Amino acid sequence: MDTVTTIEDALLTRRSCRAFLPTPVPRAQVERLLSLAARSASNSNCQPWQVHVLTGAAKRALTADLLRAHDAERRAEAGEFDYQPRADQWPEPFRARRRRFGESLYRDTLGIAVDDTTGRRGHHRRNYDFFGAPVGIILTVSRAPLQGALVDAGLFLQALMLAARGAGLHTCAQASLIDFHPVLRRHLAIADDHVVVCGLALGHADEGHRLSAHRTTRESVASFAAFYDSASYDSGVAPGADSA
């Protein structure tokens, strides 16, 4: 088992795993990971999250229903919150980054051409079986402090994914499940005052699958961080400003 021993190792080896082995993950281990994730910060310690864990027959039943809805194109008319813009409405630089991700996943790793709609749809369909993971998780948060609760959910999710790496497991966060939130509500006891944030696949990575080689890049610190220190304060010049 490829356990990691430091937070740095967990961050460097965490990835969106899209091919899992059927090897079961004991319930006690899942509960331990959730208890670690629950140490996450939240606004005024409100802890607005709820977690629904599916394995075995319960997961198979949900997967079958999700696949039927997907194949019949019965997506919800509207999401429970505004997660992302339509494909043609992404501004730069996010449009280019999204395009590069799609090319690296579909074309370079899977060998699926840009115009191969059937191939792309077939891979996307695997989301609804949690990419073969033995554990499927649905994360929800309260509608009451929604904007803040979504931030809290992100903190919880990241903590859970890093805790999983510490245990030698892999994960994949899945926003695609939002499209079928009515199906999720038929199978899970999701409170009316909660919204579905995302799904999460959890298990042991299938390192023999070609998807195990897929990696994404990250922007440099210089591209997104501005540093304010004594020198910039004393000079009266804002970081990045033209001092000429």
Question: How far apart are the C-alpha atoms of 92 and 74, rounded to whole Å?
Answer: 30
Best CA proximity match to 24, nearest among 138, 153, 135, 164: 135
Question: How far apart are the C-alpha atoms of 46 and 142, rounded to whole Å?
Answer: 10
Per-residue pLDDT of the chain (244 residues; tens, 9 = 90+): 577 889 999 999 999 999 999 999 999 999 999 999 999 999 999 999 999 999 999 999 999 999 999 999 999 987 788 888 888 899 999 999 999 998 999 998 999 998 999 999 989 999 999 999 999 999 999 999 889 999 999 999 999 999 999 999 999 999 999 999 999 999 999 999 999 999 999 999 999 999 999 999 999 999 999 999 888 777 766 655 554 4
- The amino acid at 90: W
- The amino acid at 241: A
Contact 20, 205 (CB under 8 A): yes
Contact 33, 167 (CB under 8 A): yes
Q: Kindly list the distances between the CA atom of residue 14 and the CA atoms of 194, 220, 234, 244, in Å, as whole numbers in the listed order.
A: 28, 18, 41, 43
Q: Kindly list the distances between the CA atom of residue 27 and the CA atoms of 129, 197, 216, in Å, as whole numbers in the listed order.
A: 19, 22, 31
Question: Is the peptide bond prior to 93 cis by the omega test (within 30 degrees of 0)?
Answer: yes
Question: How far apart are the C-alpha atoms of 101 and 64, rounded to whole Å?
Answer: 28
Domains plus CATH for the chain?
Answer: 7-77+129-213 (3.40.109.10)
The Cβ of residue 225 has, within 10 Å, a number of other Cβ atoms equal to: 9
Q: What spatial distance separates the first Cα and last Cα of the chain, rounded to whole Å?
A: 56
